[in-house]
Amino acid sequence: MAESEDKKQEQGGQSDGVLEIKNVTKRFGPHVVLDDVSLTIEKGKTTVVIGPSGCGKTVLIKHLIVLLRPNAGEVYFKKQRIDHLSESELSKIRTHYGFLFQGGALFDSLSVAENIMFPIRQHYKITNWSEAEEVVKTKLAMVGLDGFQNYYPANLSGGQRKRVALARAVALNPEVILYDEPTTGLDPIRSDVINELVLKLQRELGVTTVVVTHDMTSAYKIADRIIMLHNGKIVADGDAEHIRDHPHPVVQQFINGQVGEDDLAVLRMSGTISQAQFLPRDFE
Ligand SMILES: Nc1ncnc2c1ncn2[C@@H]1O[C@H](COP(=O)(O)OP(=O)(O)OP(=O)(O)O)[C@@H](O)[C@H]1O
Ligand SMILES: [Mg+2]
């Protein structure tokens, strides 16, 4: 029943997909990280990707912008196949994307204004500087930091740095924004500021949003749709209620923050190892 609901939602989205991956497999050496994954990201919606650390969330969203290429399968942006494009062709496609990657730091040697200008300068020759300054001002105002143009990242708090990174991600008025763990390392209040900003950017710019997070409070707040990855596959796909009530044990373990049987087995094993280390000496 739940499986068919997951399948139905996956197929239902295909008509209005901005981003689509079809039967993507990604391996690093013998390690299969994505195993024949298909996913359609719907226009104007916020899709949240959850799953345990190391399950392939970052690898998945890097495929959406072809920062990683699949071993098998296809990636589409607005019905155009993009996984086999050259880097210069991809660079043009990427002007439609904003992205905020995990640990995606600001450039420390550049001011806040220069950081936000950076993606614009990468793609366009700026001739009208007052217009460029106006863009920076608008983007900073959007994240509540107009006036911080001349600050350097070292003089900002962690939450402010994330907000500047967000302003930079939307510098080119993207149609799609990809966020990898935007609230990691922030306290609950600062995390909620980021959640509100993600929602605001989606409402005001009408962007299609994909967010990777461990944070279920954040996921429930911002998601139209939540996808859970496990062992290289999508094991759950639906709205918050669907995920909350999902019968798959790994989904329940993850959303309730419980340790799974596999992890327990590792912990039990490490217990035995430390005993083995101490016992012989104690008895010598
Ligand atoms: N460039 C790479 N080369 C080799 N292995 C990689 C590479 N990138 C990712 N991996 C492996 O792929 C797996 C998935 O990594 P990924 O970064 O997508 O995990 P994640 O779900 O984002 O985890 P986290 O929640 O900790 O960020 C990991 O086992 C990782 O070691
Ligand atoms: Mg990651």
Q: Where are the domains of the chain?
A: 2-111+171-247
With cut-offs at 50, 70 and 90, classify the pLDDT of residue 132. confident
Backbone angles phi, psi at 202, to 5 degrees: -65, -45
Mean predicted lDDT score pLDDT of the chain: 85
Atom of ligand 1 nearest to the CA of 212: 22
Q: Does ligand 1 have an atom closer than 6 angstroms to the CB of 232?
A: no
**pLDDT one-digit tens code per residue, 20-47:** 999 999 999 999 999 999 999 999 999 9
Nearest to 22 by CA among 14, 33, 30: 14
Q: Are strands 208-212 and 176-180 parallel, antiparallel or unpaired?
A: parallel
For residue 239, the cross-strand partners are none
Print burial letters for 236-248: b (CB count within 10 Å at least 16), e (below 16).
bbbebebbeebeb
Looking at ligand 1, which residue's alpha carbon is closest to its atom 4?
28
Structure tokens at 121: 């300068």
Mean pLDDT of 201-230: 92
Give the pLDDT score at 27.
97
**pLDDT one-digit tens code per residue, 83-104:** 999 999 998 999 899 888 776 6
For domain 2-111+171-247, the CATH class is alpha beta
CA atoms of 261 and 253, how far apart (whole Å): 10
Judge whether residue 197 has pLDDT over 80: yes
Spell out the alpha helix ranges (H) of 99-187: 112-123, 129-142, 158-169
Q: From the CA of 276, how far away is ligand 2's center (Å)?
A: 35
| Residue of 26, 33, 61 with the most ligand 1 atoms within 8 Å of its CB, for mutation | 33
Q: Is 152 helix (H, G, I), strand (E, B) or coil?
A: coil
CA 32 to chain centre: 20
Give the pLDDT score at 284.
37
